[in-house]
Structure 1
Amino acid sequence: MSRIVPVGLGDRAYDVLVGEGLLEQAGRLIAPFQKRGRTAVVSDETVWGMHGARLTAALAAAGIEALPVIVPPGEQTKSFEGLADVSDRLLAMELDRGDIVTAFGGGVVGDLAGFAAAIYKRGIDFVQIPTTLLAQVDSSVGGKTAIDTPRGKNLVGAFHQPRLVLADQTVLSTLPDREMRAGYAEIIKYGLLGDRVFFEWLEMNVAAVLARDPEALAHAVARSVEMKAEIVAEDEKEQGRRALLNLGHTFGHALESETGYGDALLHGEAVGVGMALAFRFSARLGLANGQDAERASRAIAASGLPTRLRDVPGHPFDAGRLVMHMGQDKKAEAGRLTFILARALGDAFVAKDVDAAAVLEFLVAEGAHPSGEKP
């Protein structure tokens, strides 16, 4: 049995299906959204090698031809060069607006394929089949698509909602444990930002989720998607409440920039340490109590995620450089820093015009070097 989570966006509404065996049903489920019996499937070499045959067979069973567009794995693919390559291959297939693009992979593939679909002939439909835990609970839902640039992460992109999301739990059986932990960061984020009961459930069930216990995993994914769907329906273009979904990301993106967006620090790992930093920064500013900040850090650490700067490869960092990266963040406005901070567990809020000097001082207290000082 799959769980259906609707994303209510009027005539652009769609469903997120969460459960086991959805990949084998993909052809039947995708068929209503295409007209010519074919779909371009953007996937990376790793995912396609493991699961491509399953998807191809499922599509063929419904009379749909899979046209593979296989890209290298890794964040570096989510670039102008990667976008140009995928776009050119879609054009070579002579897709028209009656065709669809299927994003079959993790967050990198989803972002890249979704953005390519958003700009291909001014917009073509796409379907998300996320194959990582992080993508299932976060990046595949909500319509954010983007690529990275040398100046920062996800700075060039578009809002382009999928027509359908299929979150098949069985594909997670081949996911490395480190990737499971990275995805868990986005799950516990939902508890920390707006659902204390869910946060407390995760404290008790973290081991079961990471061990891929079907019932625990299905609940964790479905509840995360429910929370995101509710927020996206209320604030699709991130003008207000949707910014809460960036809890931990301002610190995290700065650390990703410093570590080169590679395997040294996965996105979920950066979000994990970023959320712990956000709670401790909130406590330092007197917005939250220290007990909540410590409890948040313990719950994040219980999954094996980093919670301190010293846990991140590349430490010690230059505090000034980290603050510089934060100034390039999408949430920054007129040079002013924006953070998602917390009043308590399950009670986050958007804090605009945060004093850069206070951030700098906090980072030094956390172990970063003062700006300009050599390690």
Structure 2
Amino acid sequence: MARLNIALGQRSYDILVEAGALAQIAGHIAPWTRRGRTLWISDSHVAAHHWPRIEAQLASAGVEAHLHIVPAGEASKSWSELAHLIDWLLAMGVERSDTIFALGGGMIGDLTGFAASIVKRGCDFVQVPTTLLAQVDSSVGGKTAINTTAGKNLVGTFHQPKFVLIDPQVLGTLPSREMRAGYAEVVKYGLIDDAPFFDWCEANGRAVLAQDCASLEHAIVTSVAAKARIVGEDERETKDRRALLNLGHTFGHALEADTGFGERLLHGEAVGVGMVLALRYSARRGLCETRDADRVAAHLAACAMPVTLADAGVTADGNALVDHMRHDKKMSGGTLPFLLLRGIGSTFVAHDVELDDVAQFLDEQHRVAAPAPSL
């Protein structure tokens, strides 16, 4: 068990990582159930697995629980589902003193957090993430958003949760592909500024994916601690510090846009390919060694994850992919910052990248074959 804290003054909150925490959820969330009723948002898959026992526990504690189910999948991070959710909250008589609970993966956390930030001009919410990606990344830090036809996460707010409850045991119901996609975000923290943690991932990645209790908890706690530290230093990404968390995302979001933001390419898979592309582009610019990119690609490939454009099912040329990047919310003054690396554990924000050069680089990447994996 570990309890971490994001230090944000009056917006500070705790993150509890505890195996079996869901079995004691009524006690863990007691500070936010004092009104005697709770409003929960989940998706159809997660609710089927976890809602009956949560509802029973809350009933035993004398807490009334109401559930709104959203269709599973990234497509639900939309205007229409946001409207349905807000209509339901208003029909339930939501008040500003209510706490809204997000039970699910990144889609549910983003959608619920956004709704909580705008309904009645802002309600509190609690994150109960049920995917590895959400546990190590999206449930922490206060970014909320929906997708639009123009791109991913272009409409949203910063709205910090009041508490994050992470139970690694809930991952036992997670499909292996979703588990691997979440693992890409674990690897990201090693690449940002913790080379020894990447070394640990190389040695223990198989154990994490097999859900060995000690390895999985170490991966989650290390990742959350890293994100908490970075968010505490730069909550609203007004400096380059929090931007480091976007490693792999500029390339990755373009790949997601090209593949339709859905099951063809999961967000974590896109980030994994995006991190490899960031390393290969850094090597092309002479910032790091090619062997660094090869090493990361080999590790992700060993984890049965896509590492090339071909693996990701992306056939668009470089110009088409760069056109997706032009819709990135980080565009400013016609330029787009890129997360590049001077080596594993040494990520920085580059403000001098020419998109025409990126397009040429991406065209070259269509000829790159996946490495022979080794773990």
Is the counterpart of residue 324 in structure 1 residue 323 in structure 2? yes
Contact 1:35/1:98 (8 A) holds in 2: no
Which shows bigger deviation, 10-19 or 244-253?
10-19
Contact 1:273/1:309 (8 A) holds in 2: yes
Which shows bigger deviation, 30-39 or 327-336?
30-39
Q: In structure 1, what residue type is equivalent to 2:199?
A: E
Contact 1:23/1:58 (8 A) holds in 2: no
Aligned match of 1:135: 134
> What's the secondary structure of 2:103's corresponding residue?
strand
Q: Which runs of 5+ in 2 are unaligned?
A: 368-375
Which shows bigger deviation, 324-333 or 100-109?
324-333
> What's the secondary structure of 2:115's corresponding residue?
helix
Assess, with a 3 A threshold, how the Cα gap between structure 1 residues 353 and 58 changes in structure 2: closer, same or farther. farther
Aligned match of 1:175: 174
Aligned match of 2:52: 53
Q: 1:24-173 maps to which residues of 2 (within 5 A)?
A: 24-173=23-172
Q: Give the C-alpha shift of residue 328 in structure 1.
A: 0.9
For each residue in 1:292-314, what CA deviation from the matched residue of structure 2 results, as whole angstroms up to 9, or x when unmatched? 1211211222211111111012x
Which shows bigger deviation, 20-29 or 208-217?
20-29
Aligned match of 2:338: 339
Q: Give the C-alpha shift of residue 195 in structure 1.
A: 0.4
Q: Give the C-alpha shift of residue 60 in structure 1.
A: 2.2
> What's the secondary structure of 1:242's corresponding residue?
helix
Contact 1:35/1:99 (8 A) holds in 2: no
For each residue in 1:72-94, what CA deviation from the matched residue of structure 2 results, as whole angstroms up to 9, or x when unmatched? 00011000111100000000000
Q: 1:200-279 maps to which residues of 2 (within 5 A)?
A: 200-240=199-239, 241-279=241-279
Aligned match of 2:305: 305
Aligned match of 1:288: 288
Q: 1:342-361 maps to which residues of 2 (within 5 A)?
A: 342-361=341-360
Distance in 2 (CA, whole Å) between partners of 1:82 and 1:304 is 33
For each residue in 1:263-294, what CA deviation from the matched residue of structure 2 results, as whole angstroms up to 9, or x when unmatched? 00000000000000000000001111112121
Q: Which runs of 5+ in 1 are unaligned?
A: 369-375
> What's the secondary structure of 2:262's corresponding residue?
coil
Which shows bigger deviation, 334-343 or 266-275?
334-343
Q: How many residues align?
A: 366
Aligned match of 1:372: none
Q: Give the C-alpha shift of residue 29 in structure 1.
A: 1.7
Distance in 1 (CA, whole Å) between partners of 2:303 and 2:6 is 29
Distance in 1 (CA, whole Å) between partners of 2:22 and 2:187 is 26
> What's the secondary structure of 1:297's corresponding residue?
helix
Q: Give the C-alpha shift of residue 61 in structure 1.
A: 3.0
> What's the secondary structure of 1:225's corresponding residue?
helix
Aligned match of 2:373: none
Deviating beyond 6 angstroms after TM superposition, the runs of 4 or more aligned structure 1 residues are none
Distance in 2 (CA, whole Å) between partners of 1:331 and 1:302 is 32
> What's the secondary structure of 2:304's corresponding residue?
coil
Distance in 2 (CA, whole Å) between partners of 1:287 and 1:61 is 59
For each residue in 1:300-359, what CA deviation from the matched residue of structure 2 results, as whole angstroms up to 9, or x when unmatched? 22211111111012x322211100111111122122122100001001001113101110
Q: In structure 2, what residue type is equivalent to 1:236?
A: E
Which shows bigger deviation, 16-25 or 273-282?
16-25
Distance in 2 (CA, whole Å) between partners of 1:132 and 1:296 is 23
For each residue in 1:41-91, what CA deviation from the matched residue of structure 2 results, as whole angstroms up to 9, or x when unmatched? 000011001110121122223322111010100011000111100000000
Distance in 2 (CA, whole Å) between partners of 1:157 and 1:24 is 32
Q: In structure 1, what residue type is equivalent to 2:317?
A: D
Distance in 2 (CA, whole Å) between partners of 1:204 and 1:278 is 23
Q: In structure 2, what residue type is equivalent to 1:9?
A: L
Q: In structure 2, what residue type is equivalent to 1:195?
A: D
Which shows bigger deviation, 194-203 or 292-301?
292-301
* Root mean square deviation, CA, Å: 1.0
Distance in 1 (CA, whole Å) between partners of 2:302 and 2:152 is 28
Q: Give the C-alpha shift of residue 10 in structure 1.
A: 1.0
Which shows bigger deviation, 340-349 or 316-325?
316-325
> What's the secondary structure of 1:344's corresponding residue?
coil
